[in-house]
């Protein structure tokens, strides 16, 4: 078994300027709001009324450029509290964000979020040095976690993998608060493939 920490730094909330908007708006009014540089959005939560808000398009676009994963990013919406993006709608012709759904986070909130995997130690990996190819089977994991403990990313050390070696979900250590969804303990997260055309050496007696 190859041990890997699976650790990742917990994140601080990202400020996002947020304004209220009328409860009822026509399609034309929403288009005018977008032309003025804002993205219409809704903010909802379990047992809470849905609130209509808007956020600056340029500020949100800049966050999207730098954030490791928008859907696991905690946003500080000022007086509206903390929230996660649960859904984004895009304009098909240019991928412009035209609407956002925010999930309001409250004390004790447990959420399901995709968190990216970051593979460390490729330069020292024996399998890669022998010509092997890093083969990420998963690029992210869906986590059920208390929102205060959402990591930016999950780090996986591949520095000791040989050709044909692999790291499985059971090999990484995650905080007790974290539950991985949709992936079994035996499932491979990353492996080192043999170079194209190369066959693994047969063991004696095979």
- Please state the rounded mean pLDDT for residues 83-111: 92
Q: How far apart are CA 151 and CA 140, in angstroms?
A: 12
> pLDDT value at position 1?
39
Q: Are strands 74-76 and 14-15 parallel, antiparallel or unpaired?
A: parallel
Tell me the pLDDT band of 206, cut-offs 50, 70 and 90. Answer: very low
| Residue 164 scores a pLDDT above 90 | yes
| Residue 2 scores a pLDDT above 50 | no
* Domains and their CATH numbers in the chain: 14-108 (2.40.240.10), 111-193 (2.170.120.20)
> pLDDT value at position 4?
57
- Please state the rounded mean pLDDT for residues 130-150: 94
Q: How far lies 178's CA from each of 63, 75, 111, 147, in Å?
A: 25, 20, 10, 10
- Please state the rounded mean pLDDT for residues 103-120: 92
Question: What is the tens place of the pLDDT at every residue in 32-83?
Answer: 999 999 999 999 998 889 999 999 999 999 998 887 788 999 999 999 999 9
Structure-model confidence comparison of residues 34 and 200, the more confident one: 34
Listed in sequence order, the residues at least 6 apart from 144 whose beta carbon sits closer than 8 Å to its beta carbon are: 110, 111, 112, 178, 179, 180, 181
Q: How far apart are CA 139 and CA 141, in angstroms?
A: 7
Structure-model confidence comparison of residues 147 and 12, the more confident one: 147
Burial of residue 119, with CB atoms counted within 10 A of its CB: 0-12 exposed, 13-18 middle, 19 or more buried: buried
Q: What percent of the chain has pLDDT over 70?
A: 89
Q: How far lies 4's CA from each of 97, 151, 158, 189, in Å?
A: 37, 16, 8, 11
Q: Are strands 74-76 and 82-91 parallel, antiparallel or unpaired?
A: antiparallel
Listed in sequence order, the residues at least 6 apart from 66 whose beta carbon sits closer than 8 Å to its beta carbon are: none
> pLDDT value at position 152?
84
> pLDDT value at position 69?
82
| Residue 205 scores a pLDDT above 70 | no
Structure-model confidence comparison of residues 138 and 93, the more confident one: 138
Q: How far apart are CA 121 and CA 106, in angstroms?
A: 37
> Is the distance from CB of 189 to CB of 172 less than 8 angstroms?
yes
Listed in sequence order, the residues at least 6 apart from 51 whose beta carbon sits closer than 8 Å to its beta carbon are: 20, 42, 43, 44, 80
> pLDDT value at position 67?
75
């Amino acid at each position: 078994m190859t041990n890997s920490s699976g650790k990742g730094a917990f994140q601080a909330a990202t400020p996002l300027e947020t304004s209220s908007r009328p409860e009822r708006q026509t399609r034309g009014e929403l288009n005018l709001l977008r032309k003025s540089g804002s993205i219409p959005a809704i903010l909802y939560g379990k047992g809470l009324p849905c609130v209509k808000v808007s956020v600056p398009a340029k500020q949100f676009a800049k966050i999207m450029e730098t954030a490791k994963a928008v859907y696991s990013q905690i946003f500080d919406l000022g007086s509206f509290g903390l929230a996660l993006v649960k859904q984004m709608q895009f304009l098909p012709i240019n991928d412009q964000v035209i609407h956002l759904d925010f999930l309001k986070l409250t004390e004790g909130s447990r959420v399901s979020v995709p968190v990216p995997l970051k593979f460390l130690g490729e330069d020292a990996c024996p399998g890669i040095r022998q010509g092997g190819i890093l083969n990420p089977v998963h690029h992210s994991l869906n986590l059920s976690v208390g929102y205060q403990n959402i990591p930016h990313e999950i780090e996986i050390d591949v520095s000791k993998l040989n050709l044909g070696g692999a790291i499985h979900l059971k090999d990484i250590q995650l905080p007790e608060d974290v539950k991985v969804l949709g992936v079994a303990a035996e499932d491979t997260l990353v492996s080192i493939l043999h170079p194209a055309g190369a066959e693994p050496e047969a063991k004696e007696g095979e």
